[in-house]
Structure 1
């Protein structure tokens, strides 16, 4: 199966589930706002829950040594809902 966005197994809460990297989804969907603003706004707006719908980790940026990024891993259900609310062709492609 050819996937548009890489699916990985991650532990969210106490379960190992299939996830996608939220930043990769954001890039695929061609969202115009900054990633950090987009993901925080969507989490609040749609009531997603940490350790149920998503998890995150902090990673050092390889290019900018003093920068630490917050990487979100989101469940496939959350990814589908985020794709749906973008209301564009990329969102439709991601849902399939």
Structure 2
């Protein structure tokens, strides 16, 4: 069975937990909104807490840095069911 979305083990807060890249989840769910607006809406509507439900880091590329969000699998489940 192939994975729909890659699950990795990341430290979120003080604990290592199973997690996924929120941008990949956004793509799999085929959300019509752009990623940054959608992710901010998820954080606000679900009351997600940084370093508890997700971590964020910047990736530098050509142009301005891009924010990447790594979310717990539990958070991904709640977002997917919303």
**Normalising TM by the smaller chain, what interval?**
over 0.9
2:3 and 2:80 map into 1 onto residues whose CA distance is: 15
Aligned equivalent of 2:50: 50
Q: 1:72 aligns with which of 63, 69, 72?
A: 69
Q: Which runs of 5+ in 1 are unaligned?
A: 86-96
RMSD across aligned C-alpha pairs, in angstroms? 0.9
- What is the CA-CA distance between 1:66 and the residue it aligns to? 2.0
Q: What is the alpha-carbon distance in structure 2 between the residues aligned to residue 45 and residue 54 of structure 1?
A: 14
Mapping 1:1-96, distance limit 5 Å: 1-61=1-61, 65-85=62-82
User: Which structure dedicates a bigger proportion of its chain to helix?
Assistant: 1
Question: Gaps (5+ residues) in structure 2?
Answer: none
Tell me the distance in 2 between the aligned counterparts of 1:15 and 1:52. 9
Query: Normalising by the residue count of structure 2, what TM-score does the alignment of the two structures yield?
Result: 0.95
Structure 1: 4+ residue segments shifted above 2 A = none
Q: Give TM-score scaled by structure 1 length.
A: 0.81
Which protein is bigger by CA-based radius of gyration? 1
How many residues were matched structurally? 82
1:62-87 Cα deviation digits (max 9, x unpaired): xxx122100000000000010001xx
Which residue in the other structure is 1:93 paired with? none
SS across alignment from 1:9 = strand
